[in-house]
Amino acid sequence: MALDPYELDLRPILRAGGEPFADIMQAADGLAPSRSLRLLATFEPVPLYRTLARKGFDHAAREIGDGDWEVLFTRADSASGAGPGEQPRPSAGLTAQAWPEPLFHEDLRDLDPPEPMVRVLASLEEMRPGEVLSALLCREPLFLFPELRQRGHDWRGAAEPDGRSYRLLVRARVDSEAAA
């Protein structure tokens, strides 16, 4: 028999400008195998889908009004995906076949949010289609991912082996007409 979902209301944290990622990961890692996680957020947390999929979760999302979202994360299959607390190999998240070597490198670890996001987006404005930027950050840039998606850029990222940095590769948007 499945247990009721564990509910985590992130809206107060997000509205106060906080970063709830650690709370989400702690909740996901602490769930019983038959229990799901219900998140309430002020936006659709698209970057979490891949992160929690690596931990073996499927998701179902719906807008619940006033721009708020409800996402239910349930275990896909206890035999698939990474187990609780496991991370993919750092190089696995950065594999990008047919991507050129990065031409631009930025170390943004010493900057406070939102400056790393602002700098990455500004750099992308100056790049040609298909060029790649490598950025070293102090954490996974969850708020940057929706901005990259909206602008049509591709990205790959993973924690560095030391666990204290996050390497992000971003390929500048390639127009579909130019690629055809």
Kindly compute the dihedral angle of the four CA atoms of residues 150, 8, 10, 141, in this order, to the nearest 10 degrees: -50
29 in any annotated domain: yes
Q: Is-contact 6 36, C-beta < 8 A?
A: yes
State residue 176's pLDDT score. 55
- Per-residue pLDDT tens digits for 97-145: 568 889 999 999 999 888 999 999 999 999 999 999 999 999 888 889 8
83 in any annotated domain: no
Question: What are the φ/ψ torsions at residue 148 (nearest 5 degrees)?
Answer: -65, -45
Beta strands in 10-115 (DSSP E): 37-41, 57-65, 68-75, 104-107
Question: Does residue 40 have a pLDDT over 90?
Answer: yes
Question: Does residue 1 have a pLDDT over 80?
Answer: no
Instruction: Tell me the average pLDDT across 155-162.
Output: 82
Are residues 102 and 23 part of one domain?
no
- Which residues on neighbouring strands pair with residue 15, listed in sequence order? none
Are residues 96 and 71 part of one domain?
no
Tally of structural domains, the chain: 2
Question: What are the φ/ψ torsions at residue 124 (nearest 5 degrees)?
Answer: -65, -30
Structure-token pair, residue 132: 């790649």
* pTM exceeds 0.85, yes or no: no
State residue 163's pLDDT score. 76
For residue 53, name the pLDDT band (cuts at 50, 70, 90): confident
